[in-house]
Amino acid sequence: MEDFSESTQEVEHKKIKCKDCGANLTFEPGKMSMSCQYCGSMNEIADAAVPVAAEEIDFEVFISSQVESSEKMEVSVVKCDSCGASSTLKPNVTSDSCPFCSTPLVLRSGSTCSIIKPKYLLPFAIDRKKAFDEFKTWLKKLWWAPNDLKKFAENDKLNGMYIPYWTYDSSTTSHYSGMRGDHYYVTVSYTDSNGRSSTRQEQRTRWTPVSGTVFEAFDDVLVAASHSLPHEYVNALEPWDLSNLANFNEQFLSGFRSEQYQLDVKEGFEKAKGRMDEAIRVSCRRDIGGDVQQILSLNTNHSNVTFKHILLPIWLSAYKYKSKIYRFMINGRTGEVQGERPYSFWKIFFAIVTTLAVIGGGIYVYYLYDSGQL
């Protein structure tokens, strides 16, 4: 069985050479060929334009197998001693900063390891300039952000990263029990503050015990195989156009960095089941019907489980504010921006003081007017 165990190492990809002059090439987002900046030669990326029928791997067969069948690749490694994140250094670069926490990194010679090779990836579709423009637009929308954060937007510190993901397919059968609530209204009498009697309609709920079974078919449930980024923000970068997956080719990685998987395939499936459970509960509530629902028990069986190991493109930047690291992410296909953000204490403080002053002034004016002094 392949070892998809946790890793906290950084990797370096092999150099891609021009077929005519031998110069190093860099992949340009949105293109299916690599242009040499020295001789102008066009270097086609093999099978880049060929539609991919992504092959799924049987989860149970994979887990029970003791035969190493997946292709592996040798990579140079370096470790971030601060956050333990996994990413690559570009060719010919011997030092850099960690894209996840900005800590300086140094590539140690002679340190290599063997990792499972991804099967597919989505190439970067938007370049650094477009991603940075989206980033600056997002920053301008942040209320109560420190001025230092806005100044940070003047510095282009984005790193193009390929982040490892698992995708899971599963057919589910879920048995539930619960309660169905149907609203009805009754007329009640009451006495108002002036002593007058009146009536009004009040809502009641009639509860009925229920049970049932729902069936769901899940396709390409995404789980980031990384501990380095906040999952709530990574998930918010979705959707991804997985129908456009390309076969893994290191030419797409040239000039970019990639993270090595930290979450193994079994751990990833447990997270995937959590995401599936949310959709299953929606189906259960729909099946129960009524105005409100309660799910008291839920038992789900998974069958026909398959998975893929892929890389997805993210523009990433880390910002340090008052000794805390804040991370910003841009979907390398759509430009969707997500991230953590600090709040300015003084901006919030003065806003509260100003609001209280306005309210206090209004009350004072009303008092003067009510007392006849205005």
Q: What is the DSSP letter of 219?
A: E
Residue 281 confidence (pLDDT) above 70? yes
Residue 97 lies in a domain: yes
Q: What is the reported pLDDT for 115?
A: 63
Q: How confident is the model over 348-364, as a mean pLDDT?
A: 64
Q: How confident is residue 266, by pLDDT bands cut at 50, 70 and 90?
A: very high
Q: Residue 373, SS3?
A: coil
Q: What is the reported pLDDT for 334?
A: 94
Q: Which residue has the higher pLDDT, 138 or 162?
A: 162
The span from the CA of 312 to the CA of 163, in Å, is 5
The answer to whether 296 touches 212, Cβ cutoff 8 Å, is: no
What is the residue-wise DSSP string for 284-299? Answer: HHHHH-SSEEEEEEEE
The answer to whether 155 touches 300, Cβ cutoff 8 Å, is: no
Residue 313 lies in a domain: yes
Strongest mean pLDDT among 81-95, 139-153, 251-265: 251-265
Domain count within the chain = 1
Q: Which residue range(s) make up the domain with 154?
A: 10-180+208-343
Residue 241 lies in a domain: yes
What is the H or E stretch that residue 265 is in? Answer: helix 265-288
Percent of the chain surpassing pLDDT 70: 66
**Reported pTM:** 0.75
Q: What is the reported pLDDT for 341?
A: 60
The span from the CA of 262 to the CA of 267, in Å, is 10
Q: How confident is residue 15, by pLDDT bands cut at 50, 70 and 90?
A: low
The span from the CA of 316 to the CA of 274, in Å, is 26
Residue 52 confidence (pLDDT) above 80? no
What is the residue-wise DSSP string for 192-214? Answer: -TTS-EEEEEEEEEEEEEEEEEE
The token duo for 304 is 């026909």
Instruction: Give me the chain's average pLDDT, please.
Output: 78
Residue 197 lies in a domain: no
Residue 293 confidence (pLDDT) above 80? yes
The tens digit of pLDDT for each residue in 179-190 reads: 999 999 999 998
The answer to whether 150 touches 135, Cβ cutoff 8 Å, is: no
Q: How confident is the model over 44-68, as a mean pLDDT?
A: 76
Q: What is the reported pLDDT for 97?
A: 63
Q: Residue 85, SS3?
A: coil
Q: What is the reported pLDDT for 1?
A: 35
Q: How confident is the model over 115-140, as a mean pLDDT?
A: 85
| Cα angle 175, 178, 179; round to 5 | 150
Residue 1 lies in a domain: no
The span from the CA of 57 to the CA of 304, in Å, is 10
Q: How confident is the model over 258-262, as a mean pLDDT?
A: 80
Q: What is the reported pLDDT for 213?
A: 98
- Give me the count of residues in the chain: 374
In 3D space, the residue among 151, 146, 153, 150 whose CA is nearest the CA of residue 345 turns out to be 146
What is the residue-wise DSSP string for 157-188? Answer: --EEEEEEEEEEEEEEEEEEEEEEEEEEEEEE
Other Cβ atoms within 10 Å of 95 Cβ, number:
10
The tens digit of pLDDT for each residue in 205-233 reads: 999 999 999 999 999 999 999 888 888 88
Q: What is the DSSP letter of 243?
A: G
Residue 193 lies in a domain: no
Q: Which residues of 301-320 are buried (b: 16+ CB within 10 A; e: fewer)?
A: ebeebbbbbbbbbbbbbbbe
Residue 369 lies in a domain: no
Residue 87 lies in a domain: yes
Other Cβ atoms within 10 Å of 186 Cβ, number:
9
* CA-CA-CA-CA dihedral for 149, 155, 157, 158, to nearest 10: 90
Q: What is the reported pLDDT for 299?
A: 98
The span from the CA of 336 to the CA of 19, in Å, is 35
* CA-CA-CA-CA dihedral for 167, 173, 177, 178, to nearest 10: 40
Q: Which residue has the higher pLDDT, 301 or 44?
A: 301
In 3D space, the residue among 161, 159, 168, 150 whose CA is nearest the CA of residue 311 turns out to be 161
